[in-house]
């Protein structure tokens, strides 16, 4: 029964999941940095919220890089 379901499925192109994961990280990391800084009480301390935000932005930048590399792999595999 499971073999029938899997026979028609096509494998995804190389880089497709890397692109999707990179985009998710790029969007959610800065939001998580702001949320983490706000929930730890970093607003009351000087520059502590900024550290959380910069950390989120750096991780988000790595997500953009991951999405870019995944997009290149995906493009090269399909063209």
- Domain count of the fold of the chain: 1
Residue 4 lies in a domain: no
Residue 3 lies in a domain: no
What are the angstrom distances between the C-alpha of 23 and each of 17, 26, 34?
A: 10, 5, 18
Domain boundaries, position 49:
14-78
pLDDT band at 41 (very low <50, low <70, confident <90, very high): confident
DSSP structure class, residue 1: -
pLDDT band at 6 (very low <50, low <70, confident <90, very high): low
Residue 7 lies in a domain: no
Residue 50 lies in a domain: yes
Residues 74, 23 contacting (CB under 8 angstroms)? no
The pLDDT value recorded for residue 30 is: 93
Residue 9 lies in a domain: no
pTM assigned to the model: 0.78
């Amino acid at each position: 029964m499971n073999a029938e379901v899997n026979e028609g499925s096509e494998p995804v192109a190389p880089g497709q999941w890397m692109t999707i994961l990179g985009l998710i990280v790029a969007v959610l990391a800065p939001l998580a940095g702001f949320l983490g800084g706000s929930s730890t009480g970093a607003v009351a301390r000087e520059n502590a919220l900024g550290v959380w935000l910069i950390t989120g932005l750096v991780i988000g930048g790595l997500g953009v890089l991951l999405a870019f590399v995944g997009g290149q792999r995906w493009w090269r595999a399909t063209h």
